[in-house]
Structure 1
Amino acid sequence: MTLELTDVTSGYGHADVLRDIRLRVEEGQVVALLGRNGMGKTTLLRTIACQVTAKSGTVALDGTAYTRSARIARAGLAFVPDDRGVFPTLTVEENLRLSARRGYSPPIDVAEVFPVIRERARVKAGDLSGGQKQQLALARAMVHGSRMILIDEFSQGLQPSLVHAVLEAARALASAGITTLFVDQSPDLPLDHSDRILGMEKGAIVLDEPAERLRSDPQRLGNLLVVS
């Protein structure tokens, strides 16, 4: 699934957060979105998911423009917000069953990637730790049959070993044509596991480079993430 934003401006009320964003993400790519807090990363993901309405410009998947969250979700886009969005009164097993698309076999075994799936299967999601909820939310997106997954604050609450495992899972999904766009605060693992790195500053994309190119010049990312 290909994502394309054309001249997108969005925000909240009269305040614009994003200004004239142009962005294209190809099918099967793993793309990291980096930047300091307050630069517009979450608003960008919410705009792509049509949870924040673009004031101007278009958000398109495979050439079709969308303006409503329910329609873009049906088209194959899954959004994992920073509050994880799990159903707290349902068990881990029930959350997964509710999310799974009938007849769909994901290209990865989510129970192998996320220990919480087996270890806490009958525990209510509301009783999980923050990191466990993150595992469940990511697993739900991966069994849903989505063709594009957006993840806000990707590594928040995850142990380093799990961060690595999830990024490896994203690469496996990419080989099946599933696109992942994720927000993170640290550039280290994204550089090793992503195809592209996007950098945001003051509501604009100021960096869009292949990750391989930035590995030889990590200072460019460091400058983007330094708090002035």
Structure 2
Amino acid sequence: MLEIENLRAGYAKTTVVDDVTITFEAGTVTALLGRNGVGKTTLLRAMFGLCDRQSGRMSIDGVELPAGRAEVPARHGMTLLPDDRGVFATLTIEENLRLATRRGYHPPVDVKELFPLLVERAEQPAGQLSGGQKQQVGIARAILAGQRFIAIDELSQGLQPSLAQATLEALRVVASTGVGVLFVEQSPRYPLAYADRIIGMVKGRLVLDRSADELRTDPAAVTELLVVS
């Protein structure tokens, strides 16, 4: 269980995320929605010690996660796939996967079965891949490393719909073993279909937190969140 209390975060003196309190339960798939620039990426970066945490606290399973220490979430089995896809461009696909593999942890899905590209181009440098292919490598790395919590920014970017759907089905299998999953999207399509819970941000604050089951019968609550006023 990942707990965030009264989090304020941003860059230098600029606050982007303002007073966020939320708990991510183990084994739950959560989708984070919001328009561009509302603070979604900054929230993820703050969770993983990659931007300034101005106030607030975080803990996983009761263990405090100090601010500005990106290695600590990783040590506790948390992993983030950023929107730049987070691959090592000069390393081969196989080397990227090997670096991400957590000793003693065996995910419940086979990433090479999920993404055949990982076998077909195993010896190709990741920097030579297209954006969607890098996304596949990045998601595979996240699954291999995320023993307790996986966060993926802009999950479907560059992926054809069938591959995005297969990825989300795989992440649900991963979550069924107790791993918390959080993914960011700008469209309600995949969150409504695959998430257990949907949260939404406006101007750095959480303004929506409901089960996906509820929102499937009230989709206007999601679309209003995404409409530019």
TM-score w.r.t. structure 2 length? 0.96
Deviates more, 1:191-200 or 1:117-126: 117-126
1:44-193, aligned counterparts within 5 Å? 44-66=43-65, 67=67, 68-193=69-194
Distance 1:174 1:98 in 2: 22
The answer to whether the 8 Å contact 1:111/1:117 transfers is yes
Give, as a single letter, the amino acid of the residue that structure 1 aligns with 2:172. Answer: R
SS in structure 1 at match of 2:156: coil
Q: How far apart are 1:145 and its partner, in Å?
A: 4.8
Give, as a single letter, the amino acid of the residue that structure 2 aligns with 1:105. Answer: H
1:32 paired residue number = 31
2:13 paired residue number = 14
Distance 1:7 1:55 in 2: 10
Distance 2:158 2:205 in 1: 27
Q: How far apart are 1:128 and its partner, in Å?
A: 0.4
Q: How far apart are 1:58 and its partner, in Å?
A: 0.3
SS in structure 1 at match of 2:95: helix
SS in structure 2 at match of 1:39: coil
SS in structure 2 at match of 1:93: helix
Runs of 4+ in 1 over 6 A off after TM superposition: none
Distance 1:3 1:92 in 2: 30
Unaligned runs of 5+ in 2: none
The answer to whether the 8 Å contact 2:105/2:147 transfers is no
Distance 1:101 1:223 in 2: 40
Q: How far apart are 1:106 and its partner, in Å?
A: 1.3
Residue by residue, what CA displacement relative to the aligned partner does 1:39-92 show, whole Å, maximum 9, x if unpaired?
000000001111113111101111122121111110111010011111111111
Distance 1:183 1:154 in 2: 6
Give, as a single letter, the amino acid of the residue that structure 1 aligns with 2:46. Answer: T
SS in structure 2 at match of 1:7: strand
SS in structure 1 at match of 2:18: strand
Give, as a single letter, the amino acid of the residue that structure 2 aligns with 1:11. Answer: G
The answer to whether the 8 Å contact 2:197/2:209 transfers is yes
Distance 1:80 1:54 in 2: 19
Give, as a single letter, the amino acid of the residue that structure 2 aligns with 1:53. Answer: D
Unaligned runs of 5+ in 1: none
1:213-228, aligned counterparts within 5 Å? 213-228=214-229
Give, as a single letter, the amino acid of the residue that structure 1 aligns with 2:50. Answer: Q
Give, as a single letter, the amino acid of the residue that structure 1 aligns with 2:119. Answer: R
TM-score w.r.t. structure 1 length? 0.97
Distance 1:7 1:176 in 2: 29
**Number of equivalences:** 227
Q: How far apart are 1:146 and its partner, in Å?
A: 2.4
RMSD: 1.0
Q: How far apart are 1:133 and its partner, in Å?
A: 0.3
The answer to whether the 8 Å contact 1:100/1:145 transfers is no
